[in-house]
Amino acid sequence: MPTPTEFVETLQQRIDHRMAELERIREPDANVPAQAMDAVVSRLKLALRNELEASELAALWMPSTAEIDVKLGLARQAGDEARHYRLIEEHLETLGVDLTGFDPVEGGYSPMFQLLRGYESTVERVAAAQMTRESLALTKNEQFIAFCEDAGAGATAEFYRTDIQPDEQWHVRLGRRTLEKYATTPESQARALAASTAVLDLAERVQNRQVHELGISHAPGC
């Protein structure tokens, strides 16, 4: 059996490899569209859903998490994601976007939220959400930052770079630390790996849909 540290390093390598594959799933012409700011705004509205769901999920898990260090980590993440929601909302207002009547979860919670909320053990939850989904978010946000810069939306790019990404990096570190501490048996490591793989598989299906049905790539994470 690998040590917990070795397991986490191997898991991160698997995530990085799958993320490189996901990067190839994009619009045939991934250049910034003619209506550049409209494209930035539509992606920021997607981000509102992601941030709200991530905040709610962390809060949902707190009461059933026995480990105090993880419980407190979830508390910080719930606050981070809620703060991101408000920051994005305020940024959209500075862009002249009227969010009156906008419902970020119109139509119900996303498939990713539904998948994640079903996990019951700490190692599964952390491997799926903090380790995998947040690693995906870091990468997707970097792609969104580059998209914004190409679109002439430098303020949006800088906002994501300075206000969003540092928190996402902390969320990934929370996942790594937690797995290094609690993924200490073959069974717990297997459950963590399975949960991470399920998130990556779903992320691939979601990205395929966004690109081929909605014509959207370079959308931010959470």
- Decide if 134 is inside a domain: yes
- Decide if 218 is inside a domain: no
Number of domains in the chain: 1
Check: CB of residue 44 under 8 Å from CB of residue 156.
yes
pLDDT of 29 reads 43
Contacts of 218 (CB under 8 A, 6+ apart): 26, 30, 43, 140, 143, 144, 146, 147
Tell me the two tokens of residue 198: 């399920």
Find tokens 């705004």 and name the residue. 41
pLDDT of 214 reads 64
φ/ψ (deg, to 5) at 62: -55, -50
φ/ψ (deg, to 5) at 99: -95, 15
φ/ψ (deg, to 5) at 156: -65, -45
- Decide if 29 is inside a domain: no
pLDDT of 209 reads 80
- Decide if 133 is inside a domain: yes
Can you give the residue range of the structural domain that contains 204? 4-20+36-98+107-212
Q: How far is the CA of 164 from the CAs of 12, 27, 51, 192, in angstroms?
A: 21, 25, 11, 26
pLDDT of 189 reads 98
- Decide if 27 is inside a domain: no
Task: Report the predicted TM-score, pTM, of the whole model to 2 decimal places.
Answer: 0.91
- Decide if 25 is inside a domain: no
Four-residue CA torsion sign, 103, 107, 110, 116? positive
Identify the CATH number of the domain in which residue 150 sits: 1.20.1260.10
Check: CB of residue 179 under 8 Å from CB of residue 123.
yes
pLDDT of 162 reads 96
Check: CB of residue 145 under 8 Å from CB of residue 221.
no
pLDDT of 114 reads 96
Q: Tell me, what amino acid is at 8?
A: V
Q: How far is the CA of 43 from the CAs of 24, 48, 147, 149, 175, in angstroms?
A: 19, 9, 10, 14, 26
- Decide if 219 is inside a domain: no
Q: pLDDT averaged over consecutive 10-residue blocks of the chain (222 residues)?
A: 95 92 60 72 94 97 98 98 97 94 92 97 98 94 92 93 96 97 97 97 86 71 74
